[in-house]
Structure 1
Amino acid sequence: MTQTTSHPLVKVPEVTLLFWIIKIAATTLGETGGDAVSMSMNLGYLIGTAIFAVIFLVAVTAQIRAKVFHPWLYWATIIATTTVGTTLADFADRSLGIGYAGGSSLLLALLLVSLFVWHRVMGSVSVGTINSPKAEAFYWVTIMFSQTLGTALGDWTADTAGLGYTGAAIVFGGLLVLVVAAYYWTRLSHTLLFWIAFILTRPLGAVVGDFLDKPLAKGGLALSRYSASAALFAFILASILVFRQRPARSSH
């Protein structure tokens, strides 16, 4: 499923409903997969982060070096960012003792700095301008921060705020509905709305993932992290196989 285009350096997918469906599934997989390695395998957050960080660096390097858009490679890199984001956020929140509020605040600051520097250097943070290795590097760093922030924010909302996994999912799902409404019925920047939606899908996936594998006593379904991860992975593979994805159109 390699696709060529008149703008071969645009190697991110067109933003469609399919994109968001796979994105939410990938973020949910990141939560169950990250927890499977750090908790179920008893490797801990630090070792889990190290493992996924290596996978992330290999995937990002391959993605940036690729000459055309490869759906498989792109989504593998997204999954790598969300798994490393899960273990990294858990390490910062729990092992470092800064808590969900501290972790979320720190990661939000890093995300905003990343977007600010990217805009200052490249002139735009729109998906359609990601057509150079430098722009891709900014894109993936920003995504990694957003995925990590989403994990911390999801845990903070579900646990500290006391909303539980279902309540937190309703909150983040409702916020995404508002973003969709703003997209169609307001003149707000579509680039701004894209990044807001991209960030919000991560905590949604985080709380859905926790809902699937946490104990019944904590409001979860107590499913196996391995089986939940396998089912999500199979869904993503099927979506990529069945539905055609095209690269985003270049803005240049």
Structure 2
Amino acid sequence: MTETSETPGAYVRSGAAPGHHLRWNKVPEVTAYFWIIKVLCTTVGETAADFLNSNLGMGLTGVSLLMSAVLAVVLVVQFRTKAYRPGVYWFAVALISIVGTLISDNLTDNLGVSLTTCTTVFAVALAVVFAVWYRREGTLSIHSIDTVSREAYYWLAVLFTFALGTAAGDLVAEKMALGYWVSAVLFGLAIAAVAVAHFALGLNAVLSFWIAYILTRPLGASMGDYLSQPTGDGGLGLGTTVTSVLFLAVILALVVYLAMTRKDVTESERQLSPQ
């Protein structure tokens, strides 16, 4: 996809859908920082959801509604920004991780929907989002999230990847009874296999990205469970509070670093977007 710069503050993308307001790319470059923070956010999504459900006294449904409302507010802020802002973007990702976990837990714990059904439904929903997104926009690449419609598809896809990853991860853990640590290693190896398929065998970059994106969810959840669950249940016994605070601190430090250095901004966006 080519870009043509007209002024320091505006440019045209040849692949943009007609009738949409063009903006700077709204997501970060896919670097090691991206994947590290993504995994940390998935861990926080698991432990923070458990912490909120256990301590707010609102019930699973009440907590889900509250966090969904907070997420909606943050997404409004995200949509109103004109370029990628690390603090807003990663706050939205962390909240989506929490909400995705709560949605999956609500379906399985409150409504009695099986993990197999949840996994299937979320997989189909994600496939539908991708199909409509590609049909309307002609790309699923995160390097072209520069219109309102593409950003809407992107965040909807992200939500379903978290929900799917949660349900699929729980399903694997339940069916195979591997334990938290072994499950984390298993999903880590699966991500490594995707990386090898992409870099060594030429697997499509967009497909590789979204497969890895889904797999990081159960990886982070397994890590979170291993750290937070009691030793008698196979964990380290740190608890959800300590685990959540620890990972949030690391996320905050990395996001501040990226905001200051702009190391996760593409070169073209670094030249075009405001400082």
Normalised-by-shorter TM-score class = over 0.9
- The aligned residue for residue 185 of structure 2 is 170
- The aligned residue for residue 151 of structure 1 is 166
Q: Does 1:104 align with 2:119?
A: yes
Q: Is the 8 A contact 2:191 2:212 kept in 1?
A: yes
Residue number among 216, 235, 241 corresponding to 2:256 in the alignment:
241
The 2-side partners of 1:89 and 1:250 are apart by: 38
Q: Is the 8 A contact 2:30 2:264 kept in 1?
A: no
- The aligned residue for residue 209 of structure 2 is 194
Residue number among 236, 242, 245 corresponding to 1:221 in the alignment:
236
- The aligned residue for residue 161 of structure 1 is 176
> Structure 1: where are the runs of 5+ without partners?
none
The 2-side partners of 1:151 and 1:187 are apart by: 28
- The aligned residue for residue 14 of structure 2 is none
After TM superposition, the score normalised by the length of structure 2 is 0.85
Judge which range, 74-83 or 89-98, deviates more. 89-98
Shift of 1:43: 2.9
1:202-213 equivalent positions in 2, closer than 5 A: 202-213=217-228
Shift of 1:6: 6.5
* Identity percentage of aligned residues: 35
Shift of 1:250: 7.5
Q: Is the 8 A contact 2:48 2:244 kept in 1?
A: yes
The 1-side partners of 2:116 and 2:34 are apart by: 30
Q: Is the 8 A contact 2:230 2:239 kept in 1?
A: no
**Cα deviation 1:89-134 (Å, max 9, x = unaligned):** 1111221111211111111111111111111111111011210011
1:39-118 equivalent positions in 2, closer than 5 A: 39-118=54-133
The 2-side partners of 1:188 and 1:6 are apart by: 33
Shift of the 145–136 alpha-carbon distance from structure 1 to 2, 3 Å rule, reads: same
Q: Is the 8 A contact 2:45 2:101 kept in 1?
A: yes
**CA RMSD across the alignment:** 1.9
